[in-house]
Structure 1
Amino acid sequence: MTMLLINGSFQVKGTQPDGDTVHFTPDDPNEWGLLGNRGHSVKHDALGRATLRLDAIDALETHYGPNRVHQPLRFAHAARDELLAWLGFTNVQQGPNETVTAATPATVPGFILTTGADVHGRCVALVGRGASRDSGGVDIDVDVAILRTTANHHLLTTGLVYPTFYRSLFPSLRTELTAAAQQAQTAPGQGLWPSDGTTTGAKVTGLSSLTDDAVILPKLFRRLVDYLQLSDPSLACFPAYLAGVQDHFTILSTGRRCAGLHNVVEITNGQTVRMTRPPEDLVFDEA
C-alpha cells in the first residue's frame, strides 16, 4: 500500500492526547499540501502542527463530546500512557481536563505514513518513532514489516485498544492488524479484553453505566452517549436511532453491505447491548 511519508516531531504539552490521538509537526509544513488531492485537507496551525488520528485502532474515550464524557478511565489512561511512553515521552503530567502540563522531552522525533485526513481535518496515519531512514514528502510502499514497527500495531498487541478498520486501509495490512488483535484477545489477562463486553453484552441503565462500568468498542459507546443525551435511559428506540445515523460498513465474513449499526447490534432484557459481530469483522466507509 502506498502512503505519504512525512518526517517531523510529536508534542504533548498543552494538548489532550489519548490512546489514538496525538499532535505532530512536520519538519516541512509544506508537505501537508501533498495530501491536497487525497480527500479532506489536514487542519494545522501556522507552524504546521496538526492532530493525528491513529489509523485502524480506537482507544477508550477520555473526553468525548462537549460534555467530555469518558469511558472507564483505567483502560483509557493505560492506552494513552502506553502511546506516549512508546513515542519516547517520560514524566508526563496532566492537569485539569486531561491537558498535559509537562513532559520530558518537550518533543520527540518521529514520522507518519498517511493517505489523508478524516472529515474533521485530523490526519489519519500510521505512526513511527525516531528518525525515518527515508526522506519525507515521498510515497513509499507500506508492507507488513513496516506496519509492525508502528504505534498502531504495537497498541493492538498490548490489548489496550480495539481494531477499527476503514476502507482506505489495504487488506494485507488489515489482516496483520486483525491477527495482532486476536492474539491479544486470547492472551491471558491481556489489556482490556478480559473486561470487554462488546459482543458478550454490556448492561446500560444510564450514562454512568458507560462512564464507569461498560468496556465496549468506542464507536458503540459514542452512539450510545449521543442517544442517551437525546432521550431517556430506555434503549427501546436505540436500534431506530442507529438506523438513522447510518454508519456504512461491510461485514467481512459475509460480504454484506450495511447502512446502520442496528444491523449488528441487539438489545436484550431491555438493558443489555451487544454487537453480534466482532469489531475486526467490520470495515467502515470513511465519512
Structure 2
Amino acid sequence: MTMLLINGSFQIKGTQPDGDTVRFTPDDPQEWDLVTSRGRAVKHDALGRAALRLDAIDAPETHYGPNRVHQPLHFAHAARDELLSWLGFTNVQQGPDETVTAVVPDTVPGFILASGADMHGRCVALAGRGVSGGTSGVDVDVDVDMLRTTVNHHLLTTGLVYPTFYRGLFPVLRTELTAAARQAQTAGLGLWPSDTTTTGAKITALSSITDDVVMLPKLFRRLVDYLQLSNPSLVCFPAYLAGVQDRFTVLSSGKRCAGLHNVVEISNGQTVRMTQPPEDLVFEEA
C-alpha cells in the first residue's frame, strides 16, 4: 500500500492527547499540502502543528464531545500513556482537564505514513518513532514489516485499543492488524478481559458506559449521543443508529450496510451488544 512519508516531530505540551490522537509537525510544514492534495485539507497552526488520527485503531475516550464524556478512565489513560511512552515522552504531567503542562523532552523525532485527512481536518496516518531513514514528502510502499514498526500496530499488540478499520486501509495491512488484535484478545491483554462489545452491556444510565462497562469507542460515542437526547431505555436506540447511517461492510458476509443497527442487538430494553466483532467491519469515511 502506498502512503506519504513525512518526517518531523511529536509535541504534546499544551495539548490533550489520548490513545489515538497526538500532535505532529513536519520538518517541512508545506508537506501538509501533499496530504491535502489527496482529498481533504489537514488543519494546522502557523508553525505546522496538526492533529493526527492514528489509522486502524480506536482508543477508549478520555474526553468525548462538548460535555467531555469519558469511558472508564483506567483503560483510556492506559492507552494514552502507552502511546506517549512508546513515542519517547517521559515525566508527563497533566492538569485536571487532561492538558499536558510539562513533559520531557519537549519534542521527540518521528515520522508518519499518511493516507489523507478526516472530516475534522486530522491527518489519518500510521506513526513511527525516531528517524525514518527515508526521504520525506514522497510516497512509499508500506508492507507488513513497516507496519510492525508503527505505534498503531504496537497498541493493538498490547490490547489497549480496538481495531477499527476504514476502507482506505489495504487488506494485507488490515489482516496483520486483525491478527495482532486477536492475539492480544486470546492472551487476555489490556482491555479485552473487560470488553462487553459482543457479549453485551447493561445500560441503566450514562454512568454505565462512563464508569463501568468497556466497549468499542464508536458504539460508546453513539450511545452517549443517544442517551443525552433520550431516557436510559435503549428501545429506540436501533432507530437512532439507522438515522446516523454509519456506512460499513461486514467482511465475513460481504454485506454493505448503512447504520450500526444492522449489527447491534437490544435485549430487555437495557442490554446492548454488537453481533459482529470490530475487526469484521470496514467503515467508510463520512
Give yes or no for TM over 0.5: yes
Specify the alignment match of 2:2 in structure 1.
Answer: 2
Distance in 1 separating the partners of 2:184 and 2:96? 32
Deviations 1:32-74 (CA, angstroms, capped at 9, x unpaired): 1112221111000001000000000000000000000000000
SS of the residue corresponding to residue 111 of structure 1 reads: strand
Using the TM superposition, give the Cα deviation of residue 159 of structure 1 relative to its aligned residue in structure 2, in angstroms: 0.1
TM-score (normalised: structure 2):
0.99
Distance in 1 separating the partners of 2:211 and 2:249? 31
Counterpart code for 1:77 = H
Q: Determine if the alignment matches structure 1 residue 161 to structure 2 residue 161.
A: yes
Deviations 1:246-265 (CA, angstroms, capped at 9, x unpaired): 00000000000000000000
- 4+ residue runs over 2 A deviation: none
Deviations 1:93-137 (CA, angstroms, capped at 9, x unpaired): 110211111110000000000111000000000000001101100
SS of the residue corresponding to residue 198 of structure 1 reads: coil
> What is the identity percentage for the equivalent residue pairs of Structure 1 and Structure 2?
83
Root-mean-square deviation (CA, aligned residues, Å) is 0.5
Q: How does 1:238-249 map to 2 (within 5 A)?
A: 238-249=237-248
SS of the residue corresponding to residue 97 of structure 2 reads: helix
Distance in 2 separating the partners of 1:47 and 1:7? 15
Q: How does 1:1-287 map to 2 (within 5 A)?
A: 1-187=1-187, 189-287=188-286
SS of the residue corresponding to residue 76 of structure 1 reads: helix
Distance in 2 separating the partners of 1:74 and 1:225? 19
Deviations 1:229-251 (CA, angstroms, capped at 9, x unpaired): 11111111000000000000000
Distance in 1 separating the partners of 2:182 and 2:71? 22
Counterpart code for 1:80 = R
Distance in 2 separating the partners of 1:12 and 1:249? 33
SS of the residue corresponding to residue 84 of structure 1 reads: helix
The runs of 5 or more residues in structure 1 that have no matched partner are: none
Distance in 2 separating the partners of 1:114 and 1:204? 38
Q: Is the deviation greater in 98-107 or in 35-44?
A: 35-44
SS of the residue corresponding to residue 253 of structure 1 reads: coil
Q: How many residues align?
A: 286
TM-score (normalised: structure 1):
0.99
SS of the residue corresponding to residue 96 of structure 1 reads: coil
